[in-house]
Amino acid sequence: MLIWIIDEEWNEYDLEKELLPKEFPGVELRFSGYDYKKDLEEFGYKADGILAQIYADINKEMIDKLENCKGIAVYGGGFDKVDIEACKAKGIHVTNIQEYCAEDLADYVIAGIYNWNKDLAGRSSRIKEDIKNNAWGAPSIKKMEHRISKQTLLIVGFGAIGKVVNEKAKAIGMKVIAYDEFLTAEEVAKYGAKKVSWEEGFSQADVVTIHLKGIEANQDKIGENAFKYMKDTAYLINTSRGRVVNEEDLIKAVKSNKIRGALLDVVKNEPPTVDNPLLSCEGIMVTPHNSYISVESMRALKEYAIGNLASMIRGEKPRDPVC
């Protein structure tokens, strides 16, 4: 049996080497980067299963050449690089991974909220200038903020991750409201949050955090249609997928002071080029799509991916089926 790993994110595969031989004694593991065409011709076409990073382009041309493949397990939630229709036509199952990093994403959201509220990095970076200007204590504060416990958080997409964000936000005293097209007010209320309309949510929020699926229906869902309702003191956080935010609208909203700023762990084109206007827009912070990473989440990510692949190879229902 051959299992093919396509990845350029990680430099060690100790868990794969430990667990896969236990699942399939005698299994052969082969590794490729994203430019895998030569490897596809030499050995990849024989793979019984594939573990692929979310950035690996698993296209129709590649899928059509697979002779034995029973499943493709993606290392993560995103599977937009996999040609799902081609997999269906070939009878190849696909999985992603759900809910493995909800706590880590929620921690990132809370960290962003504290960052803005106390401006630790900003205050530290200005310390010498403030001392020279005799700006110590209250005179060093550029803008006085309300306590976090007096602020309102809007969660757009009240799924598994949104619910964990809700728990952490309530624990620090925030009022939580939620916009979700698929849940009733009663279902949201079970978690101590209040369901609101689009206009109500964006107009009431001090912070908006996005937790939508990166599907085509959500392309540019967050844009001028949302920013026009937001307070000029409000912030946006996106840890879902870059495609759900209209980046041109966001830059305009921040530059025109319609909203105060944004924290993005995802952008439309990843990795971005250094001349991406998001990276030079004052008020917008961008981090390199690593909000999900912790020791615990990375182990869970790999364990779930390996488990999904093993199930597909055996003909069993995997934990996280896509098709």
- DSSP class of residue 181 equals S
Contact between 141 and 120 (Cβ < 8 Å): no
Q: What is the pLDDT of residue 290?
A: 95
Computed over every residue of the chain, the mean pLDDT equals 97
Q: What percent of the chain is modeled with pLDDT above 90?
A: 95
pLDDT in tens, 299-320: 999 999 999 999 999 999 999 9
CATH numeric code, 2-100+295-314: 3.40.50.720
What span, in angstroms and rounded, lies between the C-alpha atoms of 117 and 162?
21
Q: Do 2-100+295-314 and 102-286 have matching folds?
A: yes
For residue 271, cis peptide bond before it (omega within 30 degrees of 0): yes
Q: What percent helix, strand, coil does the chain show, rounded to 5?
A: 40, 15, 40
Residue 203 pLDDT grade (very low, low, confident, very high; cuts 50, 70, 90):
very high
pLDDT in tens, 229-266: 999 999 999 999 999 999 999 999 999 999 999 999 99
pLDDT in tens, 103-128: 999 999 999 999 999 999 899 999 99
208 pairs with which residues across the strands? 154, 236
Q: What is the pLDDT of residue 322?
A: 96
Residue with tokens 């020791």: 295
- In Å, what is the CA distance from 299 to each residue of 294, 306, 316? 9, 11, 22
> Among 103, 117, 202, which residue's Cα sits nearest to residue 162?
103
What span, in angstroms and rounded, lies between the C-alpha atoms of 251 and 12?
38
Residue 78 pLDDT grade (very low, low, confident, very high; cuts 50, 70, 90):
confident
CATH numeric code, 102-286: 3.40.50.720
Sequence-separated (6 or more) residues with CB below 8 Å from residue 288: 265, 271
Residue 168 pLDDT grade (very low, low, confident, very high; cuts 50, 70, 90):
very high
Structure tokens, 209? 């955090």
Q: Return phi, psi of residue 5, to 5°.
A: -105, 125
Structure tokens, 116? 């803005």
- Domain segments of the chain as ranges: 2-100+295-314, 102-286
Q: What is the pLDDT of residue 4?
A: 98
CB atoms closer than 10 angstroms to residue 258: 18
CA atoms within 13 A on the CB side of 14: 3
pLDDT in tens, 215-228: 899 999 999 999 99
Average pLDDT on 80-85 reads 95
Q: What is the pLDDT of residue 19?
A: 97
Residue 142 pLDDT grade (very low, low, confident, very high; cuts 50, 70, 90):
confident
